[in-house]
């Protein structure tokens, strides 16, 4: 069920639990600012989620409230994962859903990283 991205952060959410190691995930990268793991229901040959370690509901919350170092660290981590997965030359897509209209389901900021083949049109119509 899509979330209301204006609600306060709830640290019982699924990705907070993955960050704390309470729920397993197929981790591909971790540093001071970010964790990356495979999406449990991949929608492309490569479908990785990158999440910040800080407690942010969405991109909106993160872009408004995160300190510069966390923003820089997270953006660098997303780029690192894409390079590490060999996605730069063939190309890849980043996507972040924010709130109900976008269908955001987990109330902890996550960037989807898709790749591995031609991804088709940006949005289904």
Residues marked as catalytic: 110
Q: Contact at 8 Å (CB) between 34 and 89?
A: no
41 lies in the binding site for ligand AMP (CB under 6 A):
yes
Phi-psi region of 120 (alpha: psi -120 to 50; beta: other; left: phi over 0): left
28 lies in the binding site for ligand AMP (CB under 6 A):
no
From the CB of 37, what's the least distance to ligand AMP, in Å?
6
103 lies in the binding site for ligand AMP (CB under 6 A):
yes
From edge to edge, which strands make up the β-sheet containing 111-115? 27-30, 34-38, 46-52, 111-115, 92-95
60 lies in the binding site for ligand AMP (CB under 6 A):
no
Nearer to ligand AMP, 67 or 120 (CB): 120
């Amino acid at each position: 069920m899509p979330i209301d991205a204006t609600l306060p952060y709830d640290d019982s959410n699924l990705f907070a639990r993955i960050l704390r190691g309470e729920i397993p995930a197929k981790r591909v990268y971790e540093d001071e600012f970010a964790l990356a793991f495979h999406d449990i229901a991949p929608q492309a040959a490569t479908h990785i989620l990158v999440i910040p370690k800080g407690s942010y509901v969405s991109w909106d919350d993160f872009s408004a409230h995160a300190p510069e170092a966390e923003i820089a660290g997270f953006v660098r981590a997303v780029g690192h994962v894409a390079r590490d997965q060999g996605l730069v030359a063939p190309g890849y897509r980043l996507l972040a859903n924010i709130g109900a209209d976008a269908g955001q389901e987990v109330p902890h900021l996550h960037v989807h990283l898709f790749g591995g083949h031609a991804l088709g049109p940006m949005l289904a119509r």
